[in-house]
Structure formats: C-alpha cells, structure tokens
C-alpha cells in the first residue's frame, strides 16, 4: 500500500511540474487549481447525496431493477466498491459491496408485501457462492416473522424500509 501511495505521489508531482512547464503557469495559478479541484469534488458528492435522498421518496414506485440500481448508487455514495451481479442466474445476490476489506452480498427485494424466508435462504446461498463475509437483504417493505427468525439464526442482516431510510 505504501508503494502505491508513493507511486501516486510521484505521478502527482510529475503532473504538477508538467502543468507548470507546459502551460507556463505561475505557482499561484496552480495553487488555485489544486484548491478548486477538491472543492468541486466535494460539491459533486453533495449533489449525489441530494439526488439519492430525492430518489428515496420514489422507492415504492421503482421496479426491481431500478431498486437494485438505486442501492448501487447509495452504496457507492458511502464509499463502497460495488459490483452488480448478472440480472439472471445471480445465485441469490444482486450486489456485492466491499469496504475495509469486508465483502458483503446484498439481495434487493422491492416488494409490495412483507419479504419472506425465500430471500433469506437465497442470500445465505449467495454468501457461500461469492465467498463473502456478510449478507444483507434490503427491502422497501418489511419482513415476515419467519424471515426474521431465520435471519437471526443465520446471521443475515435485514434492512427494512425504516433502516433503509436511516442509511440514506
């Protein structure tokens, strides 16, 4: 990891020097650019967060694929690496997210009724298939008592509408 940071640092120094020489920039102009870039990145992330919050209000109107895509954007905004599994034959996983070297399988269920055992069973299988550390089932609704019992026994996290709202 230190080698990567050192390598990236040397690339940054090279980039700065090449800007100074190529465009005949003054150090003051370069400093303005270097201050402006993080500011713009911060503004863009704030814009993304606002968009995700606005979209949350329409989560009950989304279809299943839109809900998966929404969750993908949500986890990316939380600095997770996100991989979308194939739309069919996904082995019980819709998203694979990673942060701090912990990989999590996510099963997304955009339902009009409470989510039952089947979703919990599918994500348990997906944990083994994708060799992940954690598993989560996320819904725009609630979970049946049976699903909650199975999830508790198998250490599956359940994110219902209220938990999802807090995550946003």
107 DSSP β-pair partners? 137
Question: pLDDT by residue for the chain (168 residues), tens digit each?
Answer: 556 556 666 777 777 777 767 777 677 776 777 777 777 777 777 777 777 777 777 788 888 899 999 999 999 988 899 998 987 777 889 999 999 999 999 999 999 999 999 999 999 999 999 999 999 999 999 999 999 999 999 999 999 999 888 887
Contact 123, 108 (CB under 8 A): no
Q: Say how far apart CA 48 and CA 57 lie, in whole Å.
A: 15
Backbone torsions φ then ψ of 167, nearest 5 degrees: -65, -35
What confidence score (pLDDT) does residue 5 get? Answer: 59
| Chain position carrying tokens 């999802």 | 164
Instruction: Kindly state the tokens that stand for 120.
Output: 């919990």
What ranges make up the beta strands (E) of the chain?
81-84, 95-99, 102-109, 134-139, 157-159
What confidence score (pLDDT) does residue 34 get? Answer: 72
What confidence score (pLDDT) does residue 14 get? Answer: 76
What confidence score (pLDDT) does residue 3 get? Answer: 64
Sheet holding 157-159, edge to edge: 81-84, 95-99, 102-109, 134-139, 157-159
């Amino acid at each position: 990891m230190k080698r990567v940071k050192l390598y990236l640092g040397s690339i940054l120094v090279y980039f700065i020097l090449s800007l100074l020489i190529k465009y005949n920039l003054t150090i003051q102009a370069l400093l303005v650019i270097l201050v402006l870039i993080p500011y713009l990145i911060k503004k863009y992330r704030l814009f993304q967060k606002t968009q995700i919050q606005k979209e949350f209000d329409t989560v009950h109107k989304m279809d299943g694929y839109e809900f998966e895509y929404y969750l993908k954007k949500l986890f990316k905004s939380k600095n997770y690496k996100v991989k979308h599994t194939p739309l069919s034959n996904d082995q019980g996983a819709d998203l694979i997210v990673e942060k701090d070297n912990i990989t999590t399988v996510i099963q997304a269920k955009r339902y009009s009724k409470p989510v039952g055992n089947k979703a919990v069973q599918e994500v348990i299988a997906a944990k083994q298939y994708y060799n992940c550390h954690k598993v989560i089932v996320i819904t725009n609704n609630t979970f049946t008592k049976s699903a909650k019992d199975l999830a508790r026994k198998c250490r599956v996290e359940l994110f219902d509408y209220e938990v999802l709202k807090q995550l946003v």
